[in-house]
Structure 1
């Protein structure tokens, strides 16, 4: 007789293990996964993003080397500060006039190829300028032509490189990617300005242009080895001809998106009345607060440190909204008003750091909304529209603020500017709330092509 089989003891059921990432220890503990999802530099888990960030750091340093030397070079050629401003205006003009066409080109052409060709073209312009400077052949008309060509290429290069960086990471890591880009830009700016002096002292003005050309070639060499995310591969554009109709489609789409229109209004008001601190704070420190260059250097350092800290904090965001952008911009405006009333330099230094933090977070959140709200096939054109309008307020802002300072002084400009920003955001929020309440109260179904109720709210 066979013995009865032993009773089977059921094994405890456990959740399936997530596949481990090679070379990475899996998260431990209940909150580890959530912390990993909100890690500031989570975008750097992706190899392509690490290479792209390194290339951008080199490129930003080269660009700021060239810009630093270019302003000095114009002064040497003409002896006129107005000519320096004119060269910057000529370089910005294509972005104002041709931003729509540049964005349409980015949507029509393969992104990696577009970014690689535009970076190579910018490198070629830098090398030509270096040769002209080295052989003492550069004249002011030639410099203006080269500045215009640089601005023309940048109308395509700017949106192509911005969207390429986002295509290297999953959608939830895009805020981290944009925040990292802001830190890379700030670091590259500091390094480039410092290296410009070393290069010019040791090798002459041409060395800065040559170094910038090499930095563009480095980015060009990295791009073919970058791996796009599957969503970006699937949404990649087919090469087609760029026509004016496609550019107009981008403008129509932009104007039909309440989020984008609201973001534009918030950013424009903030940029004109609140972000030109190199002008307002310089006059405040050296005027009413009786400081000098050293004191303004301290304030500028706090602004830079606050900006980097704000970008780091913004990297923890996952899905920022226009409502968050508005709230941060309003908080920055309140701090700006307080800065306008600062009785001494110490309180001003204390205020500018958090002011820079919230405004950097607002900028990063706004950039994330701008680059992720449109569908993939429209993002280049949306960035093209943004380039045109942001160039417009970038050119108009300093003169308008200068007139306000002539009338109200540095303190008055800071206080009035902060009140305009906070008041505009408050009025916009009140109007939007009433509009949504009306729609909810009447309860109509959206017509074909009309945005649903949630589309009307800036927090969506």
Structure 2
């Protein structure tokens, strides 16, 4: 039996995507890249404080880096749809490496100032508008459609491990080699990814029974961002996914803020206790990635169900009387969040036709950047007005009501003749090779 025709027992393995040699290389490269990125992020805020002496300027630099994602996400996605995927990802990774090396050189020679810092932040944000969708879709192109959830779940686990490793390595690197070392390490990690990309082997979708194939008129590259907007907002399941995810992000996932205030306030514990809570969240996230890897056909309904379950757990944390009970609750909270993220990302990356996926991810980047910026201030004001416990309970109720309403609406629309395709099913099988000839 060939490597691409697994035995039935292996089809539900959470790590089934590792059957593909290119995915193994891609995962190793991403582990190195994530470790390098978190090494840099660990020292970056301290560097901004050293250069500017202002905590407010630290926030400004982060906003400048996030700004392009909000304003130019759709244009970046259009570029990904118009240009060859491997070339786009390799060039964007090399460009990010160049920015990291430039920052390292400026730091090493004491030449980094506020204007240069903001320029580098903005350039990084612009490149990321292309790099993020290009790398996400390239990873999916290395496996068959049925294994995309496994690939996304593996990416989530790689991200978590890379974060732990990068954070741990950053301190030692700075002590031994100085602040610039973190930026050099991150630059080298980008170079490594860019060097691996040309050797990756993409899946032939004409032999993938679950794949979507672009229609002949859309097979040529297109760079019209307006098509992405029209498609996204004309697709009810994508709009529903955005609504559920946005509400969850604003009212339910700011745990670094809400749980920190809960632990140090009502529960009267110290910063060390919040570190324990954060570790429990990380453990739950990794466990959730393992569970999410078992998914075969994730749906928006599953995302809504997970959002509702997470909301119930969040409400329970608002009433928890002890730190020990809080730790027990945050682990399943993180599991649910990880499964929901994997399901939502899979829908987002497989529901649109292939020629539209970059622009759809571009729309999503703009939306997610927006609610990422809105969430902390909203929940912060809510905690100021009502306290941490009430903020957690109120936020959970908002998410639970929205998720329940969404599920009820989906259930009302669900009944269809057996011969029809369910609304959250995978795309129809690809045409036969003879039909594909017209597309080519």
Structures share a fold, TM > 0.5? yes
* Structure 2, unaligned runs of 5 or more: 208-212, 427-440
> Does residue 110 of the first structure (1) align with residue 88 of the second (2)?
no
The answer to whether the Cα contact below 8 Å between 1:77 and 1:139 also exists between their aligned partners in 2 is: yes
| Cα shift at 1:432 | 3.9
> Does residue 334 of the first structure (1) align with residue 312 of the second (2)?
yes
Greater displacement, 41-50 / 76-85:
76-85
1:289 aligned counterpart, secondary structure = coil
Distance 1:453 1:42, change over 3 A: closer
The residue number in structure 2 matching 1:400 is 378
The answer to whether the Cα contact below 8 Å between 1:106 and 1:156 also exists between their aligned partners in 2 is: yes
| Cα shift at 1:408 | 1.1
> Does residue 281 of the first structure (1) align with residue 259 of the second (2)?
yes
CA–CA distance in structure 1, aligned partners of residues 9 and 311 of structure 2: 31
> Does residue 146 of the first structure (1) align with residue 124 of the second (2)?
no
Greater displacement, 75-84 / 393-402:
75-84
The residue number in structure 1 matching 2:438 is none
The residue number in structure 1 matching 2:338 is 360
CA–CA distance in structure 2, aligned partners of residues 402 and 200 of structure 1: 33
The answer to whether the Cα contact below 8 Å between 1:109 and 1:238 also exists between their aligned partners in 2 is: no
| Cα shift at 1:293 | 1.1
| Cα shift at 1:434 | 4.3
Q: Name which one, 1 or 2, has greater alpha-carbon Rg.
A: 1
2:387 aligned counterpart, secondary structure = helix
The residue number in structure 2 matching 1:199 is 173
Mapping of 1:32-431 within 5 angstroms?
Answer: 33-231=7-205, 242=223, 246-431=224-409
| Cα shift at 1:232 | 8.1
| Cα shift at 1:21 | 4.6
CA–CA distance in structure 2, aligned partners of residues 20 and 354 of structure 1: 37
| Cα shift at 1:453 | 8.3
CA–CA distance in structure 2, aligned partners of residues 428 and 309 of structure 1: 27
| Cα shift at 1:239 | 7.7
Normalised to the residue count of structure 1, the TM-score between the two structures is 0.87
Distance 1:285 1:50, change over 3 A: same
The residue number in structure 1 matching 2:433 is none
1:229 aligned counterpart, secondary structure = coil
Normalised to the residue count of structure 2, the TM-score between the two structures is 0.91
CA–CA distance in structure 2, aligned partners of residues 89 and 279 of structure 1: 18
1:39 aligned counterpart, secondary structure = coil
CA–CA distance in structure 1, aligned partners of residues 187 and 246 of structure 2: 33
The answer to whether the Cα contact below 8 Å between 1:324 and 1:459 also exists between their aligned partners in 2 is: no
CA–CA distance in structure 2, aligned partners of residues 269 and 241 of structure 1: 32
